[in-house]
Structure 1
Amino acid sequence: MSEHDERDAAVRAALAAHGDSGITPRHTLFFFHGEGDHDDLNELARRAGFVTSGEDDMTVLETTIPVDEASFAPVSAMMQSWAAAFQLDYDGWECAVVTH
């Protein structure tokens, strides 16, 4: 299990502790830091349907998705590959708890 897999599982465990299965789509943020190519990351992410923001050495990507393990694993892998491609540090994600 990679560091990101462990961190993803920890976020899902915190959601589950509040009665959230992760299946309901919700606003989700992804964080990138470093001195790599934020402009190219922003361009690729916008083409993939993400809203992008940030400044200097930080980029935040936003979207609405489910975060259960099966749905989220490919997105997490994509974020890690984008970070590698643009020489950035992927610092993980956060989302709201949804219990309805």
Structure 2
Amino acid sequence: MTGERASKEEIKEAAARPDVVFLDVRTEPEIAENPLTSRPFVAVECNVTDSSILEAKIDTVLTDKDAPIVIFCRSGRRAETAIEVLKQRGFTHTYNGGGVSDLETNLRST
């Protein structure tokens, strides 16, 4: 399932696990406008056409390459880009959490 869009059930399972990292790849203004409030998260910006910020910071922000990581953004597209970057860096369990609104809904229903 690594890299594919996580199902509602998978999001619920992930939310129950303390070892799962939620990674927000939106911009700071996007996060300020609509933050994920139901779960702590790590934020590192990633753009579909420019992943340099994520590439520069990811190895210091996330050190356990075997930890499950649910990546989300506004719609899920940037999460796909971030997943590719993480795969190239050796991260083995990455899941596309989709857009923040859907993710928030799924997390609140747990």
Please, what TM-score do these two structures have when normalized by structure 1? 0.36
> Which protein has the bigger strand share?
1
Determine which structure has greater relative contact order: mean sequence separation of CA pairs < 8 Å that are 6+ residues apart, divided by chain length: 1
In terms of Rg, which structure is larger?
Answer: 1
